[in-house]
């Protein structure tokens, strides 16, 4: 699977970002349980044309990076 960025969230799910879309993987169910568009189906405020990197800080917040 070719992805732009990925992160494992404390909610027990992993998010994979590619262009303007993301997939959410549920570790408990061992399956992708959601496919959506950045901004309209979740992750409001994140660049809708894709991200370069993502991480979850120990403070519980997700941070996204694009370009320099």
Q: Is the pLDDT of residue 60 over 90?
A: no
10: pLDDT strictly greater than 80:
yes
For residues 61-68, average pLDDT: 92
Check residue 1 and give its pLDDT: 63
Ramachandran area for residue 24 (φ above 0: left; ψ -120 to 50: alpha; else beta): beta
DSSP 43: -
At 38 the pLDDT is 93
């Amino acid at each position: 699977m070719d992805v732009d960025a990925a992160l494992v969230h404390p909610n027990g799910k992993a998010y994979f970002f590619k262009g303007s879309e993301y997939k959410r993987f549920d570790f408990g169910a061992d399956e992708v349980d959601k496919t959506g568009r950045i901004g309209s189906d979740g992750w409001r405020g994140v660049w809708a044309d894709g991200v370069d990197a993502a991480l979850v800080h120990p403070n519980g917040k997700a941070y996204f990076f694009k370009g320099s």
